[in-house]
Amino acid sequence: MIESVDVPIIAAHVPAYAHPGDAGADLVATEAVRLGPGERALVGTGVRIALPDGYAAFVVPRSGLAARHGITIVNSPGTVDAGYRGEIKVSLLNTDASEAYDVAVGDRIAQLIVLPVPRVRFVPVDDLPASVRGDGGFGSTGYQTGANS
């Protein structure tokens, strides 16, 4: 069993997990917004939390909204630091080129994932240890060139 963490919260609609074992708790909109094609809006959730030191919360898109309507989050994941006490807002983006999307009060618009985040010490060095991947990035593990691609 994974240990639970108490997070003090002020919210009219407390984020809830839809299913046992879900990683993200649903955040709901506290305001109605119409997102035209390609438009974005900062949507309030009414949620304010006090995370314990050593934790951060991440605001991520809901897969159903993304797949069915092209609704995503501009700065995904949005990071909520342990010291932040303001309202969690979601920067929604309508990626659909032709259809508007209406957000109603009470709609589930994002998910909140709370994770432990260790504080790291960045240690300056002259060289990094070798790895199998090396410095390959941005598609280096799945993109092939040549006649067989």
The token pair that represents 41 in the structure block:
């809006």
75 is annotated as contributing to ligand binding: yes
Task: Report which of 17, 86, 84 is spatially closest to residue 53, judged by C-alpha positions.
Answer: 84
**How far is residue 61's CA from residue 112's CA, in Å, rounded to a whole number?**
9
22 is annotated as contributing to ligand binding: no
133 is annotated as contributing to ligand binding: no
Sheet holding 25-28, edge to edge: 25-28, 108-116, 55-60, 78-80
The sign of the torsion formed by the CA atoms of 135, 137, 140, 142 equals: positive
140 is annotated as contributing to ligand binding: no
pLDDT band at residue 143 under the 50/70/90 scheme? low
**How far is residue 102's CA from residue 92's CA, in Å, rounded to a whole number?**
11
42 in a structural domain: yes
134 is annotated as contributing to ligand binding: no
127 in a structural domain: no
147 in a structural domain: no
2 in a structural domain: no
85 in a structural domain: yes
82 in a structural domain: yes
Residue with tokens 């407390």: 14
Task: Report which of 26, 16, 83, 23 is spatially closest to residue 56, judged by C-alpha positions.
Answer: 83
Share of the chain above pLDDT 70, in %: 93
What residues make up the domain containing 41?
Answer: 9-116
80 is annotated as contributing to ligand binding: yes
Summarize pLDDT for 21-71 with one digit per residue, the tens. Answer: 999 999 999 999 999 999 999 999 999 999 999 999 999 999 999 999 999
76 in a structural domain: yes
CB atoms within 10 A of CB 51: 20
132 is annotated as contributing to ligand binding: no
* Structural domain count of the chain: 1
124 in a structural domain: no
pLDDT of residue 138: 75
Residue 76 sits in a domain whose CATH number is: 2.70.40.10
Summarize pLDDT for 91-120 with one digit per residue, the tens. Answer: 999 999 999 999 999 999 999 999 999 999
pLDDT band at residue 126 under the 50/70/90 scheme? very high
